Structure 1
Amino acid sequence: MCGITGFWDFKQELSPLEREQIIHKMHQQIEKRGPDSFGVWQDESKGIVLGHRRLAIVDLSELGHQPMFSKSGRMVIIYNGEIFNTDELRTELETTGLRFKSYSDTEVIVEACEHWGVKKAAQKFIGMFAFALWDLKDKQLYLVRDRIGIKPLYWGWQGDTFFFGSQIKSFTPHPHFKPSINENVLKGYFAFAYIRGEPSIFQDIERLKPGTILCLDSQKNLTHETFWSLEQVAEEGTRNQFSNPIETTERLHELLKDSVKRRLVSDVPLGAFLSGGIDSSLVVGLMQSLSSRPTKTFSIGFDFDEFNEAPYAAAIAQHLGSDHTELIVTEKECLDIIPMLADCYDEPMADSSQIPTYAVSKLARQHVTVSLSGDGGDELFAGYDRYLIGQRLWTLFDKVPHILKPLARQAPNLIPTSILQVISRNFSSNVNFSIDKIERGKALLGAKDLKEFYNSLINVSINGNYLARGLDDIKAPNLETIPMMQFIDEMTYLPEDILAKVDRASMAVSLEARVPLLDHRVIEFSWRLPESMKVQDGKGKWILRQLLKKYVPANLFERPKKGFSIPLNLWLRGPLKAWAEDLLYDPTLNHYVNQKVLLKKWQEHQEGHHNWHYSLWPVLMFQLWRQRWGF
């Protein structure tokens, strides 16, 4: 795993020496992504400058150093990620007469792009990747990001300078980078607790959409080309569904074994996160079955029992025979992580599981350099409670005459209490929605379609505006209720919350995180599963449960889902109260949120009338981010 950064000085206002000095300062901003070595290069004739930080994983020699040129000298690349079918691609390229000097996947990527073209090469890659490729012959810059957004890649203009890199903070040493807040994204951020969509929190800086190739030429012509489309995968998968559950389960088993096996290749120590849940337990079970030695596993527990899942992880580790390391994290240790979050995450991020994610990454890094993770299982195989809740509610609401739905938006108090009570009962106390159930119910009744309904279901807006219209422009195929919710999550929540969280937390401690459940072949397979192979008896992930039973007895993993939770609601009434009040009572905050409503909810939270922590935490993380960036 590595970090990349660069810029294109179109007007060449800076001298080559000035550009070199700047790029060195830029890559130092992301040193933790790659502490082992660094490299820079520039095309002085065009003003293009590349910087790289290396975390050496495969082929630790200098032959893997970047920026790296193709053998012909036409292409130069900086790259972050891992390609897991390198051997097959190398063999295929060698049939053309090409001879490789290293075992580095970087060399395979740059030669593949030159030989097959960037799009065809990207379609052949199995793995996680974000890279910048400069074509010295055609004077074109390519930016490429993996299919589901496992690795980050930002780009944007500041005047006549084009920036690109793994993290926005790498742009800050450049004198042409003048950061300002993109207030258009704040509505979505306060609604969903993460920055959603391609525009970033910084004006004129965007995320490259997953599965996309950006090409920029010397005339400033910029194009986007899709090499993999989740929408197309979902459409094709739902038209070609599996029918035999026994055969399908075995096919998925073989596919997951291949995915995990490919991700065990490493020249440095490797292990896995183990929470005791279905996804991580299955990954570790597969790893252990493929290894002759005990797999190193890592979990954290808490000294507050309600949130402590460490005993479950320990029981599964004992059964599988892994070399397990457990750390009990104190309340103080968790609280000490919070001030660091704004530096880990270049943009506001309010998923409170970022705290334990950082803690377990730090623990793992003391023993290994690579760790496998079970992320993606909930989105691909319908593991979230909200999918089942949403399906029940949407079935109920779909029976409401369309003529009555606008009334919910324009005059919500006209909705009969009996209907609202039905809605309220569907929000059980163990579901992570801390907003007022009745108000949310009114918004859900007013949703004009399933996409708007689901956005309203997961909305945590501090202003109480739960009717989430106009917050995104996701193009979704015609899907049934649960698949539609999965699709929205795979397009937004998965890359922009879950994967961003894991990438920043792991990279903050120079740890590479690999996600075998998000191999694109597994994603494509999952879209061919009928609902009956994902949801049965009121529980999701049916097919993963069947596979896990091959490795672990059901009594060790069949229990209510907790998630990677912390007692944030209690901390905001206790040890975090003074810190939070300093941020929430800041008079400049009123420019961004309705501070009167905010402080009313804060008071209600303090008095114990409501648990508003899911709405308050995004505001607190925004304020922490503003402090870090000086806004």
Structure 2
Amino acid sequence: MCGISGLILPGPTGRGDRLAALARRMADALAHRGPDGSGVYADPEAPVGLGHRRLAILDLSEAGAQPMYGATGRYILVHNGEIYNFLELRRELEQGAGPFLPWRGDSDTEVMLAAFEAWGVETALNRFVGMFAFALWDRRERVLHLARDRMGEKPLYYGLAGNGMAFASELKGLRALPDFSPELDAESLALFLRYQYVPEPRSIYKNAFKLRPGHLLSVRADAPTDLRPRPYWSLREAVNAGLSDPFTGSEAEAADHLETLLGDVIENQMLSDVPLGSLLSGGIDSSLVTALMQARSPRPVKTFTIGFETGAYDESDDASRVANHLGTDHAELTVTPAHVLNLVDRLPEIYDEPFADASQLPTRLVAELTRRHVTVCLTGDGGDETFAGYNRHFWAPAIWNRVHSLPPLLRSRAADAMRLLPPAAYDALFRTLGPVLPRSARVRTPGNKAHKLADALAARTPEALYKRLCSTWSEPALLLPGVTEPETAPDQPETWPRLTDFTRRMQYLDSTTYLPGDVLQKVDRATMAVALESRAPFLDHRVVEFAWRLPASMLLQKKQGKRILRRILHKHVPRQLVERPKMGFGIPIDQWLRGPLRSWAVDLLSPDRLKQQGLLDPEPVTRQLRDHLAGRRDNQYRLWSVLMFQAWHERWM
């Protein structure tokens, strides 16, 4: 895991020492991603510079340093991530006895360069199994190739800088260039207010973009502003392939195959020359990853979790029970308001475009705890999207089946009635009725979910219902008068695979929007802020492709998702330790905004400040804040989105 950056800058400033200095300046802005070393490359015959910050994971010697030159001198590579099958590729390359032999070291980066030499860029790219973002300069063809892994674990931004182009792992790298113009994109801001993140390929700036997962961008040195990415792998095509070749065995056979596949993936991902552990929440995904790790480790796996003083959000006891059963070396941190107060002002620096998934706070804190002990951690990220684990995957179809035929007026009145009770009253009612409720109705934070459901009842189609369930501000135009919100994937069914099942359509949209835009961005920034590498076994593309061959009945049954993962997990961990209402990585932002964060929030959201800024309409923000502080509504997520934008704007604009 590292930080990469670079540029193509035609003209007199894009030469020699000046180019090297700019490449170094960009790389230094990413120093937190790679504290173990740095390097730059400036081509003596072309206006191309590359920068690298190193977090040493494999081959800790100088033989693993970057930018790295290929054996023939044609290719120069900077790489962020890991190629998990590099030993297999290395053995295959050795049989061909290419010009790269003998090997200079033991890094996956050197194997990547040899693969490019032997097979060409696109063929090699399709052979890689891993998480990665890389820049490969081809000196012979004078082309810079940028690529991102299939599911989007590693980030890569690119954009215009003067009369050239630049790229970096984070926007900080682009902003380090004097020729980059950080002009705010109001349409991207509208999307952020809806989704809590800026969806790909957009960024918060007009002239900067995210390279989509599974895409390759090839830029010629003589045409650096011609930026046209193309896919080398597509989840849409993988889904269609799975539908065309469904798994025909029994559920037991599917579970056995998946357990073997996941076990092999995890064994490869445990390869590291530095200490390694696991993030353990005690839920299905992280418990399964940890169980399969422990089965392959001769010593107790180091596991990490955090808890909260507020019981409704605390999962630390669940994680501790799973850790005790598996025999891991477990550590945990209890988060207090003081932790949050110390961290909240640093969020705009960590997430250098607006980002408002409130679980960014515990993710950053558990990353800091983990980094005190290990340099690499495995996570359960991707399990919900791939194996139908979100509550909406089973509740949304049930809701739609019940309400879609009701007149809009009746739906509106039902929503108003649901909002009569404040969230705290719902929570108290569910606590009282808990012992007599069916398991499927025992949810954590029911008040927030009831109000979220009320907001979704106005939907006219299943896709509109999904979009509302994923929305923070369902009408961003209320805050941004005159700004048109662009279409995104939920508005473009013509781009989807051939899916008729509502749940599977939600899974696909989650995997192509929410997963890379929110979950993976959150984890990357939180872990790399403390130079911790995270790895996600569920996002190995072979696991994803197999999951899409399975019938929906193996994923979701009786209002419960991840059926096949549960079947595997129950072999390793008793059912009673892991079967409980799904929580997610939530935190008590609602209470903190009324308590320790109140003065901070009131100051950032003051009407005078909003008016002076001239971007957001103060009236709806003030109304939401007033209702939340009075306890009439739970507006924590809407308010957090505006707060995160305000804090970001104060820092960067």
Q: Give the TM-score, by structure 1 length.
A: 0.93
Q: Which residue of 2 aligns with 1:488?
A: 509
Distance 1:399-1:386 versus aligned 2 partners, 3 A rule: same
Counterpart CA distance in 2 for 1:203 and 1:423 is 39
Q: Following TM superposition, by how much is the alpha carbon of 1:464 offset from its aligned partner in structure 2, in angstroms? A: 7.2
Distance 1:159-1:397 versus aligned 2 partners, 3 A rule: farther
Counterpart CA distance in 1 for 2:280 and 2:360 is 16
Q: Which residue of 2 aligns with 1:235?
A: 240
Q: Following TM superposition, by how much is the alpha carbon of 1:365 offset from its aligned partner in structure 2, in angstroms? A: 0.5
Distance 1:439-1:495 versus aligned 2 partners, 3 A rule: closer
Counterpart CA distance in 1 for 2:363 and 2:377 is 12
Q: Following TM superposition, by how much is the alpha carbon of 1:275 offset from its aligned partner in structure 2, in angstroms? A: 0.7
Q: Which residue of 1 aligns with 2:231?
A: 226
Q: Following TM superposition, by how much is the alpha carbon of 1:598 offset from its aligned partner in structure 2, in angstroms? A: 1.2
Q: Following TM superposition, by how much is the alpha carbon of 1:495 offset from its aligned partner in structure 2, in angstroms? A: 0.6
Distance 1:139-1:551 versus aligned 2 partners, 3 A rule: same
Q: Following TM superposition, by how much is the alpha carbon of 1:19 offset from its aligned partner in structure 2, in angstroms? A: 2.1
Asked if the contact 1:435–1:615 (Cα under 8 Å) also holds between the matched residues in 2, the reply is no
**Among 472, 492, 495, the residue aligned to 1:460:** 472
Please give the residue correspondences for 1:32-111 in structure 2 after superposition, counting only pairs within 5 Å. Answer: 32-98=32-98, 99=101, 100-111=103-114
**Among 164, 167, 174, the residue aligned to 1:164:** 167
Q: Which residue of 2 aligns with 1:246?
A: 252
**Among 202, 214, 220, the residue aligned to 1:211:** 214
The reply to whether residue 357 of structure 1 matches residue 363 of structure 2 is yes
Q: Following TM superposition, by how much is the alpha carbon of 1:415 offset from its aligned partner in structure 2, in angstroms? A: 5.2
Asked if the contact 2:6–2:50 (Cα under 8 Å) also holds between the matched residues in 1, the reply is yes
Asked if the contact 1:145–1:208 (Cα under 8 Å) also holds between the matched residues in 2, the reply is yes
The percentage of counterpart residues that share the same residue type is 42
The reply to whether residue 524 of structure 1 matches residue 545 of structure 2 is yes
CA deviation map 1:91-136 (0-9, x unaligned): 1111221212211100111121222121111111110000000000
Asked if the contact 2:384–2:562 (Cα under 8 Å) also holds between the matched residues in 1, the reply is yes
The reply to whether residue 471 of structure 1 matches residue 484 of structure 2 is no
326-335 or 257-266: bigger deviation:
326-335
The secondary structure found in structure 1 opposite 2:6 is: strand
Q: Which residue of 1 aligns with 2:534?
A: 513
416-425 or 538-547: bigger deviation:
416-425
Distance 1:19-1:465 versus aligned 2 partners, 3 A rule: closer
Asked if the contact 2:607–2:622 (Cα under 8 Å) also holds between the matched residues in 1, the reply is no
Q: Which residue of 2 aligns with 1:336?
A: 342
Q: Following TM superposition, by how much is the alpha carbon of 1:159 offset from its aligned partner in structure 2, in angstroms? A: 2.6
Asked if the contact 2:337–2:596 (Cα under 8 Å) also holds between the matched residues in 1, the reply is no
93-102 or 379-388: bigger deviation:
93-102
Counterpart CA distance in 2 for 1:379 and 1:463 is 25
Counterpart CA distance in 1 for 2:464 and 2:75 is 45
Please give the residue correspondences for 1:446-457 in structure 2 after superposition, counting only pairs within 5 Å. Answer: 446-447=460-461, 450-457=462-469
The secondary structure found in structure 1 opposite 2:114 is: helix
CA deviation map 1:560-615 (0-9, x unaligned): 11111111001111111111111111545353333211111110111111000111
Asked if the contact 1:462–1:597 (Cα under 8 Å) also holds between the matched residues in 2, the reply is no
Q: Which residue of 1 aligns with 2:129?
A: 126
CA deviation map 1:522-567 (0-9, x unaligned): 1101111211111112111111111111110000011111111111
User: Which residue identity is paired with 2:219?
Assistant: L
**Among 584, 607, 624, the residue aligned to 2:630:** 607
The secondary structure found in structure 1 opposite 2:3 is: strand
User: Which residue identity is paired with 1:33?
Assistant: R
The secondary structure found in structure 2 opposite 1:143 is: strand
Q: Following TM superposition, by how much is the alpha carbon of 1:421 offset from its aligned partner in structure 2, in angstroms? A: 6.7
Q: Following TM superposition, by how much is the alpha carbon of 1:386 offset from its aligned partner in structure 2, in angstroms? A: 1.2
450-459 or 420-429: bigger deviation:
420-429
229-238 or 299-308: bigger deviation:
299-308
Distance 1:71-1:577 versus aligned 2 partners, 3 A rule: same
The secondary structure found in structure 1 opposite 2:446 is: coil
Asked if the contact 2:305–2:333 (Cα under 8 Å) also holds between the matched residues in 1, the reply is yes
363-372 or 230-239: bigger deviation:
230-239
Q: Following TM superposition, by how much is the alpha carbon of 1:367 offset from its aligned partner in structure 2, in angstroms? A: 0.6
Counterpart CA distance in 2 for 1:198 and 1:71 is 34
Please give the residue correspondences for 1:569-588 in structure 2 after superposition, counting only pairs within 5 Å. Answer: 569-585=590-606, 587=608
Q: Which residue of 2 aligns with 1:258?
A: 264
The secondary structure found in structure 2 opposite 1:39 is: strand
Counterpart CA distance in 2 for 1:123 and 1:423 is 51
**Among 161, 174, 177, the residue aligned to 2:177:** 174
Q: Following TM superposition, by how much is the alpha carbon of 1:423 offset from its aligned partner in structure 2, in angstroms? A: 12
Q: Following TM superposition, by how much is the alpha carbon of 1:331 offset from its aligned partner in structure 2, in angstroms? A: 1.9
Distance 1:415-1:508 versus aligned 2 partners, 3 A rule: closer
List gaps (5 residues or longer) in structure 1.
Answer: none
Asked if the contact 1:150–1:503 (Cα under 8 Å) also holds between the matched residues in 2, the reply is yes
The secondary structure found in structure 2 opposite 1:491 is: helix
Asked if the contact 2:190–2:485 (Cα under 8 Å) also holds between the matched residues in 1, the reply is no
Distance 1:86-1:384 versus aligned 2 partners, 3 A rule: same
Counterpart CA distance in 1 for 2:419 and 2:588 is 26
Please give the residue correspondences for 1:385-400 in structure 2 after superposition, counting only pairs within 5 Å. Answer: 385-397=391-403, 399=405
Asked if the contact 1:435–1:460 (Cα under 8 Å) also holds between the matched residues in 2, the reply is no
The secondary structure found in structure 2 opposite 1:223 is: coil
Q: Following TM superposition, by how much is the alpha carbon of 1:493 offset from its aligned partner in structure 2, in angstroms? A: 0.5
Asked if the contact 2:182–2:207 (Cα under 8 Å) also holds between the matched residues in 1, the reply is no
Q: Which residue of 2 aligns with 1:384?
A: 390
Q: Following TM superposition, by how much is the alpha carbon of 1:332 offset from its aligned partner in structure 2, in angstroms? A: 0.6
Q: Which residue of 1 aligns with 2:562?
A: 541
User: Which residue identity is paired with 2:360?
Assistant: Q
Counterpart CA distance in 2 for 1:245 and 1:592 is 54
Q: Following TM superposition, by how much is the alpha carbon of 1:328 offset from its aligned partner in structure 2, in angstroms? A: 1.8
Q: Which residue of 2 aligns with 1:620?
A: 643
Asked if the contact 1:212–1:225 (Cα under 8 Å) also holds between the matched residues in 2, the reply is yes
Counterpart CA distance in 1 for 2:279 and 2:129 is 22
The reply to whether residue 554 of structure 1 matches residue 575 of structure 2 is yes
List gaps (5 residues or longer) in structure 2.
Answer: 421-425, 427-440, 479-483
Asked if the contact 1:433–1:614 (Cα under 8 Å) also holds between the matched residues in 2, the reply is no
User: Which residue identity is paired with 1:90?
Assistant: R
Asked if the contact 2:40–2:67 (Cα under 8 Å) also holds between the matched residues in 1, the reply is yes
Q: Following TM superposition, by how much is the alpha carbon of 1:399 offset from its aligned partner in structure 2, in angstroms? A: 4.5
The reply to whether residue 563 of structure 1 matches residue 575 of structure 2 is no
CA deviation map 1:387-429 (0-9, x unaligned): 11211123335556xxx7xxx5xxxx47574698799999976
Distance 1:483-1:432 versus aligned 2 partners, 3 A rule: farther
Asked if the contact 1:276–1:316 (Cα under 8 Å) also holds between the matched residues in 2, the reply is yes
Q: Which residue of 1 aligns with 2:301?
A: 295
Q: Following TM superposition, by how much is the alpha carbon of 1:236 offset from its aligned partner in structure 2, in angstroms? A: 1.6
Asked if the contact 2:2–2:54 (Cα under 8 Å) also holds between the matched residues in 1, the reply is yes
Asked if the contact 1:147–1:211 (Cα under 8 Å) also holds between the matched residues in 2, the reply is yes
Distance 1:537-1:439 versus aligned 2 partners, 3 A rule: closer
CA deviation map 1:149-182 (0-9, x unaligned): 0000000112312010101101222211121111
User: Which residue identity is paired with 1:526?
Assistant: A
Asked if the contact 1:307–1:567 (Cα under 8 Å) also holds between the matched residues in 2, the reply is yes
Asked if the contact 1:10–1:160 (Cα under 8 Å) also holds between the matched residues in 2, the reply is yes
Asked if the contact 1:463–1:597 (Cα under 8 Å) also holds between the matched residues in 2, the reply is no
Q: Following TM superposition, by how much is the alpha carbon of 1:38 offset from its aligned partner in structure 2, in angstroms? A: 0.5
Distance 1:435-1:13 versus aligned 2 partners, 3 A rule: farther
Asked if the contact 1:212–1:224 (Cα under 8 Å) also holds between the matched residues in 2, the reply is yes
Counterpart CA distance in 1 for 2:127 and 2:405 is 46
CA deviation map 1:287-314 (0-9, x unaligned): 0001111111111112222222111111
- Root-mean-square deviation (CA), in Å? 2.2
User: Which residue identity is paired with 1:11?
Assistant: G
